[in-house]
Chain A
Amino acid sequence: MTTALPVPDSASDVRARNFVTTAGDPDGPVLLFAHGFGCDQDMWRYLVPSFTDEHRVVLFDHVGAGRSDLTQYDPARYATLAGYADDLLELCTSMGLRDVTLVAHSISAMMAVSAAVQRPDLFSRLVLVAPSPCYVDDPADGYVGGFSRADIDELLASLDHNYFSWAAAMAPVVMGTPDSPELGEELTGSFCRTDPDIARDFARVTFLSDSRQLLPRLRTPALILQCTDDALAPLEVGEYLHARLAGSTLVRLAATGHCPHVSAPVETARAVQAFLSPAA
């Protein structure tokens, strides 16, 4: 049992802890975006403009990522996805969010499932972007997650080797190339800045978690967005999820990689809008 941190009891506590930002129509239906491993809320910047006209958009950083309050990082609380799911619930309850559509990327997809299983009353829909309930293969029942345990150890080693660049809060001195875009230059130094030690913990929590037993308990309608050639989620994973999330919708995107909201924001936005529209 952990006694460490007091539960934030006010919206301002949670806002500071998770660096909550909001955009769009304050009276619109709530669209809450949860970033995944290795990122922060900046990851949503290409997707968000498609929703600000009609929605109240709420963005945040997981504790340890971006501009969250690092002093609130409690290794015991965040040793499992449940701690992060609790943060999601605290965020919703402290801010009085209702009928939330939670758009969750990567590992956050399973935090979203966990949160919605605990408090189905808070969430109306889930959008799971490039999700996986378990990254490590399970030879016992033939589950294909795409990784072996040794792969995960190697990932942790890779993280270590980038320790200093992850830790760097240094001002970027980017060697300018004449034809490269100005776009997002302000982000280069701070982009998805993560405390390297926390990143290591988060990687372990992310890639060693197994949320498969949660899936049958979800009652909230879910959209599964699966990318082509996602290094983190083979096609089998999308099918697995679709089969076990009752009433879920599986959409395969043409977008490649693991971050369709970055590489193909338009396609991603359309898929989400289609899911949210009453006709769907």
Chain B
Amino acid sequence: MSSPAAGPDLDADLEGLFQHAPCGYLVLGPDSRVVQVNETFLSWTGRAREDVLGTALPRLLPVGDRVLWSTHWAAQLAISGTIDEVALEVVGADGRRHPALLTASRVPAAGSRPETVRVILFSAVGRRAYEEDLLAARRRAEQSDDRRAKAEAGLQRLVLHDPLTGLLNRTGLTAEVTARLAAPDTARRLPDSRLALLFVDLDQFKTVNDSLGHTAGDELLALVARRLQALIRGTAVLARFAGDEFVVVDDVTRLQDATGLAQRLLGALREPVVVQGLEVAVSASIGIAVEGEGQGEGAATAAAGDDPVAPQAHGPAFTAGELLRHADMAMYRAKARGRGCWEVHDPDVPDPAADRLRLLDELRVGIASDQLRVHYQPRVDLRTGGLDGVEALVRWEHPTRGLLAPAAFIEAAEQSGLIRELGARVLDQAVRDAATWDALAPSGQRPLNMAVNLSTRQLADPHLVRRVATALDRHALAPDRLTLELTETALMRDPDGAHATLTALKQLGVELSIDDFGTGYSSLTYLQRFPIDELKVDRSFVGGLHERADSRTIVASCVHLAHGLGLRAVGEGVETGDQHGALRELGCDLAQGYLYSRPVPFAELLQWRPVDALAA
């Protein structure tokens, strides 16, 4: 029948190829039952032929592959006619699994021959291993993505929230207010509503912190946060602005909604709280600002005031910062009015008392957070033109208003008593810089004499002498390098007390100077009574040296008087070469003023050189 030449051999070859091909062959009949199987498949799986024949292919697969076969691959095969490189495992006779790639095509029924499916299975051990690696890498990548996402979310939370109370912090609050202001009216939580800010400041928090410690303070803040949170509506947000300051943000339709809320908050805070077993009475002051009120007041504020470095931009739009500032200002008005009450921001009512309270609060923070800077104005030896020493002058690097001169804050500090801490810091810094000078100054430079101002309150400070001694000891500065400048007014406030203090200071070895001489009492008796070393002739006389004959007479008398009493004479406020020359002629010892240098930071002081034009 077949060709005698090729027939039997070809059949044998084909049979050999089918049985021993380097892959498993299966033919499936109805219901995916195996009707033919090759030797390769049998030896590969260790299964007996009679075991495989008649078995549905899915039964040879582990459960997972079986499900996918039933739900997906069988359907694809039936509909599209082929499936290609399906990754699965075949379960061997011993239960071992053999990774394989399955490719199959369907052969439709023809005549009496029923439909069949041809299947080839490649062993895919190596590919399986790569897949495992790939999948493991993918899962790891997913997990690390997940971790990173979680870390980022955590970080974001940290950035926007206060860890103590879990409330929004200043950054988070600003973002919230900005978002709410930017939201279209339709997105407002209440129709026709405006945004209201309630700035809540605890009245005696510092006392709690100082007397019970920071842990108690933190506990109190957390309690207050919970109490406030319990009172506000779902539409409102509570934030911890800073320290003991909280801000409530809410939408209101009427101003009364905001003031009513303020009243309720104050009432809730009035209930005493128990902190570390002690009952503590808290009260607060609340400032209210409502969106859309008080606009355009910015320009007036920016123009007012004497500080030169306070740019305050006010656009026509209402910003979160503006609204917060208004609420803050109103809060200070409430505080100034007496604690435990609320005030609504009113741009038309200037309130110096509120401004002063705010200034003091800011200064308190400024002193604690190292915003004070000490600048130095050279004092020149009029005989040589060289540097004799410097006068230390305080500056305040205000976070928003820039570098402030003493005129902007010293008076308030003096009245409030803050001057003592401020003065102590300036003294310590000045003494330290004088000691540093010795190490840094060019060789051959004389030691720097340091003059530091003492205010009336400082002079009355019972700890003054100890503070001065401590500063000198700490920085190992010879006492006679330090000159303390006092005003006549300070001396005459309590002459007996001043005398005792000055005597004690003199015993330490420091030098004492009368500042602004000629403008106060100018009582000659104290010059005799107090242990003074130096007189500083007031700048008003020095300034008039060439305009007014009487000025020259006064300066001459002062210098004469000083020398007569064995004191040093210093001219202040020297601005011109003529003034310099006149002081020299009159025999004045030292001089300071813009002619030689404005007050400069310590680092700049090291660069100071005598004024060439005056050398001759």
Residues of A at the B interface (CB closer than 8 Å) are 36-39, 42-43, 45-46, 106, 147, 151, 154-163, 165, 172, 174-175, 177, 179-185, 187-188, 191-192, 207, 229-232, 256-259, 262-263
Let me know if A38 and B63 touch, CB within 8 A: no
- Residues of chain B within 8 A of A263, CB atoms compared: 74, 78
Let me know if A188 and B107 touch, CB within 8 A: no
- Residues of chain A within 8 A of B128, CB atoms compared: 161
> What are 9 residue pairs bridging A and B, where the CB atoms are less than 8 Å apart in the complex?
A38-B68, A39-B72, A46-B79, A163-B135, A174-B84, A181-B108, A185-B81, A191-B76, A258-B74
- Select one of A43, A154, A179, A256 contacting B64, CB under 8 A: A154
Give the interface segment out of B85-93, B301-309, B315-323, B344-352: B85-93
CB distance from B109 to the nearest CB of A (A): 10
User: Looking across the interface, which residue of chain A has its beta carbon closest to that of B31?
Assistant: A256
Let me know if A161 and B82 touch, CB within 8 A: no
User: Looking across the interface, which residue of chain B has its beta carbon closest to that of A183?
Assistant: B81
- Residues of chain B within 8 A of A231, CB atoms compared: 58, 66-67, 69-70
With the chains together, A257 CA to B85 CA distance in Å?
21
Most A CB within 10 A of own CB, among B31, B82, B88, B131: B82
Q: Which residues 90-105 of B sit at the A interface, judged by CB distance below 8 A?
A: 103, 105
- Residues of chain A within 8 A of B66, CB atoms compared: 231
Let me know if B105 and A147 touch, CB within 8 A: no
- 0/1 interface trace, chain B 30-69, chain A, CB 8 Å (1 if under): 0110000000000000000000000010100011111111
Q: With A165-B86, A180-B106, A257-B31 as given contacts, are A187 and B68 in contact (CB-CB < 8 Å)?
A: no
Most A CB within 10 A of own CB, among B31, B68, B105, B128: B68
B71 close to A (CB within 8 Å): yes
CB distance from B115 to the nearest CB of A (A): 10
Number of interface residues of B (CB under 8 A): 39
Let me know if B64 and A162 touch, CB within 8 A: no
Q: With A151-B64, A155-B64, A179-B107 as given contacts, are A188 and B81 in contact (CB-CB < 8 Å)?
A: yes
Let me know if B135 and A161 touch, CB within 8 A: yes
- Residues of chain A within 8 A of B560, CB atoms compared: none
- Select one of B32, B56, B79, B135 contacting A262, CB under 8 A: B79
Let me know if A184 and B81 touch, CB within 8 A: yes
- Residues of chain A within 8 A of B80, CB atoms compared: 183-185, 187-188, 191
Let me know if A230 and B71 touch, CB within 8 A: no
With the chains together, A147 CA to B63 CA distance in Å?
9
With the chains together, A256 CA to B78 CA distance in Å?
13
With the chains together, A257 CA to B66 CA distance in Å?
11
- Residues of chain B within 8 A of A256, CB atoms compared: 31-32, 56
CB distance from A191 to the nearest CB of B (A): 5
With the chains together, A165 CA to B58 CA distance in Å?
19
For the complex of A and B, 4 pairs with smallest distance between CB atoms: A158-B64, A38-B71, A38-B72, A154-B64
With the chains together, A162 CA to B69 CA distance in Å?
12
Let me know if A159 and B68 touch, CB within 8 A: yes
- 0/1 interface trace, chain B 356-384, chain A, CB 8 Å (1 if under): 00000000000000000000000000000
- Residues of chain A within 8 A of B440, CB atoms compared: none
User: Looking across the interface, which residue of chain A has its beta carbon closest to that of B71?
Assistant: A38
Let me know if A156 and B86 touch, CB within 8 A: no
Q: With A163-B135, A180-B107 as given contacts, are A42 and B67 in contact (CB-CB < 8 Å)?
A: no
With the chains together, A159 CA to B74 CA distance in Å?
15
Let me know if A36 and B71 touch, CB within 8 A: yes
- 0/1 interface trace, chain B 389-409, chain A, CB 8 Å (1 if under): 000000000000000000000
- Residues of chain B within 8 A of A39, CB atoms compared: 71-72, 75
Let me know if B81 and A181 touch, CB within 8 A: yes
Let me know if B75 and A259 touch, CB within 8 A: yes
With the chains together, A188 CA to B86 CA distance in Å?
13
B118 close to A (CB within 8 Å): yes
- Residues of chain B within 8 A of A185, CB atoms compared: 80-81
User: Looking across the interface, which residue of chain B has its beta carbon closest to that of A188?
Assistant: B80
Let me know if B79 and A232 touch, CB within 8 A: no
Let me know if A192 and B87 touch, CB within 8 A: no
- 0/1 interface trace, chain B 115-146, chain A, CB 8 Å (1 if under): 00010000000001001000100100000000
